[in-house]
A and B are shown apart, each in its own frame.
Chain A
Amino acid sequence: MTAGTAQQALRLGRHCFAPDQRLVMGIVNRTPDSFYDRGATWNENAAMARVHAVVSEGADILDIGGVAAAPGAPVDVAEEIRRTVPFVGAVRAAYPDLVISVDTWRHQVGREACRAGADLLNDTWGGQDPELPAVAAEFGAGLICAHAGDQAPRTRPFRVAYEDVMADVLDRTLAQASRATAAGVDPARILIDAAHDFGKNTWQSLEVTRRLGEMVATGWPVLVSLSNKDFIGETLDAPPDRRLTGTLATTAICAWLGARVFRVHQVLQTREVLAMVSAIQGERPPARTVRGLA
């Protein structure tokens, strides 16, 4: 592992997580068109059922999103608020202590979401709206600073080239983290994310995975969002519904290299992988050990 600045405690909502705690963020899409669930939780009842399921499976954080990452029908601010904010309020009422993240690049949405009880803003498109950090600061919320290269929201990478992809990831995410700190966001509530597939081809996503230790060495807590993504699909030549094995393998590698938060569709399986990694690293004991010991 790369030597560097030591990891500190991560504060999210009312919680304080130690550096050796690995957190699972369960994805709940309030969209009709997200690539993996294809609208499965577009209906509010289905979405709340999904929340109950991922919480019971051990999710520490929920990530609620109202706009699919892929190009598609435009979703304006009012519609994004309509999709996400009342739902954030409903989840908050049902789970007063659960960490709630909202996946948005727009400060107007972030503000309403924080008012409704969100603890964390997931700025997946990499700082497109310069006013977002001030909103996080205003509400004492956290901020995820992601790398999307030069990609505008909801666009696909087109022949994206980097002199050094990890250097670009570090430049941009650290600059955003500095801006967030300057805007008044609590540094203990800031995470960085390489944002696999965003502004990257498969080779570049594989490289940032291989070199994830360089992000961890910055001292900022690292979130990875790998779940069923195209770089896994292209690596294994697998459609979205056959990417779980690849997702979990990548999850194990990222955990080993020091990632602390895992944004996923499959919470239970991810929890088990993380438990194995923590046990192998000696950070957490196995659940029960009697083999050869009786």
Chain B
Amino acid sequence: MITSAALCPWPPLLVRELTGADPVLPELRAACAGAVAALLRDRPEVVAVVGPGTGTVPWPADGRLNVAAFGGPRVAAPCPARPGTEGAGRPVLPPALGIGTYLLDQAGYAGERLIWSVSGDEPVAGCRKLGADLAGSDARVALLAIGDGSARRGPRAPGHFDERSHAFDAEVERAVRACDTRALLDLDPGLARELMATGRPAWQVLAGALEGCTGLSVEVLYAGDPFGVAYLVATLRPS
């Protein structure tokens, strides 16, 4: 059964060391930490982390983020440890899942983990089924769905501007706030790919996991696009 769920984006800048002297978006970092803390308050036996990757496959439960893949401060003596090395020996995850496990590490979560990447090409039915399978577990499962909205929300955005981006992201936010699993399952994979919205697969896994759930209370901790990418942080928990 699903005890609770959370949505977090995965911009690498969530890792404080990667943003240089300026903390850059501490409010987003705090929102993600808050969402994960809320997830863990419901005392799950397993945390399932689901996010975009090149295939729809499970990953080793001890997988980690490879911070060094994004560069970072690796020469300066004042840095106590080179980021990314503290997990040496743990297998490297796709970056989105890496960020998910990083958030769990930061929260001090030491319990069981189930880690799945979902391909950007995974059809809706496959996402939904994975969600239903996770929800069908006998254990108390908390679901951490990793992904972002469109990265094409303005001329300075990574993918420049696509006029469809704002409506797409607004619909996602509306569906999450209303816990409207049907609307999340209606998101079009092709459109999501064109809009560089990496969250579509994980959100549809989430929808599959929560289908039929009632009485969930939704809290949106962050919704914004300071760099042209839509970030949505939310929790869905029993009221």
Chain A interface residues (CB < 8 Å from chain B) = 71-72, 155-163, 165, 201-204, 206-207, 210, 234-235, 237
22 residue pairs of the A-B complex, CB under 8 angstroms, read A71-B155, A72-B160, A156-B160, A158-B151, A158-B159, A159-B10, A159-B95, A160-B70, A161-B12, A161-B70, A161-B95, A162-B69, A202-B71, A203-B18, A203-B73, A204-B70, A204-B71, A206-B71, A207-B74, A210-B75, A234-B20, A237-B22
Shortest distance between the CB of B80 and any CB in chain A (Å): 18
| B-chain residues with CB within 8 Å of residue A157 when the two chains form the complex | 158
Asked if B196 lies at the interface with its beta carbon under 8 angstroms from chain A, I say yes
Asked if B11 lies at the interface with its beta carbon under 8 angstroms from chain A, I say yes
Complex formed: what's the CA distance from A127 to B196 in Å?
Answer: 24
Mark contacts of B44-85 with chain A using CB atoms, 8 A cut-off: 1 yes-contact digit, 0 otherwise.
Answer: 000000000000000000000010011111110000000000
Shortest distance between the CB of B16 and any CB in chain A (Å): 13
| A-chain residues with CB within 8 Å of residue B70 when the two chains form the complex | 159-161, 201, 203-204
Complex formed: what's the CA distance from A199 to B118 in Å?
Answer: 24
Name 5 extra pairs, CB < 8 A, besides A162-B69, A202-B71.
A71-B155, A155-B159, A163-B69, A203-B72, A204-B71
3 nearest CB pairs, A to B: A203-B71, A71-B160, A161-B69
Shortest distance between the CB of A259 and any CB in chain B (Å): 20
Q: Determine whether the beta carbon of B20 is less than 8 Å from that of A158.
A: no
Name which residue of chain B comes closest to A200, CB basis: B71
| B-chain residues with CB within 8 Å of residue A165 when the two chains form the complex | 71
Question: Which residues of chain B (169-224) have a CB below 8 Å from chain A?
Answer: 196
Mark contacts of B146-180 with chain A using CB atoms, 8 A cut-off: 1 yes-contact digit, 0 otherwise.
Answer: 00000100010111100000000000000000000
| A-chain residues with CB within 8 Å of residue B155 when the two chains form the complex | 71
Complex formed: what's the CA distance from A225 to B22 in Å?
Answer: 26
| B-chain residues with CB within 8 Å of residue A207 when the two chains form the complex | 71, 74
| B-chain residues with CB within 8 Å of residue A71 when the two chains form the complex | 155, 159-160
Shortest distance between the CB of A162 and any CB in chain B (Å): 6
Shortest distance between the CB of A134 and any CB in chain B (Å): 31
Complex formed: what's the CA distance from A162 to B157 in Å?
Answer: 21
Name which residue of chain A comes closest to B92, CB basis: A163
Mark contacts of B132-157 with chain A using CB atoms, 8 A cut-off: 1 yes-contact digit, 0 otherwise.
Answer: 00000000000000000001000101
| A-chain residues with CB within 8 Å of residue B18 when the two chains form the complex | 203
Name which residue of chain B comes closest to A161, CB basis: B69
Q: Determine whether the beta carbon of A156 is less than 8 Å from that of B159.
A: yes
| A-chain residues with CB within 8 Å of residue B22 when the two chains form the complex | 237
Name which residue of chain B comes closest to A235, CB basis: B20
Shortest distance between the CB of A158 and any CB in chain B (Å): 4
Shortest distance between the CB of B50 and any CB in chain A (Å): 18
| A-chain residues with CB within 8 Å of residue B66 when the two chains form the complex | 161, 163
| A-chain residues with CB within 8 Å of residue B20 when the two chains form the complex | 202, 234-235
| A-chain residues with CB within 8 Å of residue B160 when the two chains form the complex | 71-72, 156
Name which residue of chain B comes closest to A203, CB basis: B71
| A-chain residues with CB within 8 Å of residue B71 when the two chains form the complex | 165, 201-204, 206-207
Name which residue of chain B comes closest to A205, CB basis: B71
Shortest distance between the CB of B173 and any CB in chain A (Å): 21
Name which residue of chain A comes closest to B99, CB basis: A159
Q: Determine whether the beta carbon of A156 is less than 8 Å from that of B158.
A: yes
Complex formed: what's the CA distance from A71 to B10 in Å?
Answer: 23
- Given A203-B71, A204-B71: A159 touches B159 (CB 8 Å cut-off): no
| B-chain residues with CB within 8 Å of residue A158 when the two chains form the complex | 151, 158-159, 196
Shortest distance between the CB of B65 and any CB in chain A (Å): 10
Shortest distance between the CB of A9 and any CB in chain B (Å): 34
| A-chain residues with CB within 8 Å of residue B11 when the two chains form the complex | 159
Shortest distance between the CB of B66 and any CB in chain A (Å): 7
Q: Determine whether the beta carbon of A159 is less than 8 Å from that of B12.
A: yes
| B-chain residues with CB within 8 Å of residue A206 when the two chains form the complex | 71
Complex formed: what's the CA distance from A200 to B10 in Å?
Answer: 18
Shortest distance between the CB of A214 and any CB in chain B (Å): 15
Complex formed: what's the CA distance from A158 to B158 in Å?
Answer: 6
Complex formed: what's the CA distance from A159 to B11 in Å?
Answer: 7
Complex formed: what's the CA distance from A159 to B96 in Å?
Answer: 10
Complex formed: what's the CA distance from A165 to B69 in Å?
Answer: 8
Complex formed: what's the CA distance from A156 to B73 in Å?
Answer: 22
Shortest distance between the CB of B190 and any CB in chain A (Å): 18
| B-chain residues with CB within 8 Å of residue A210 when the two chains form the complex | 75
Complex formed: what's the CA distance from A202 to B72 in Å?
Answer: 9
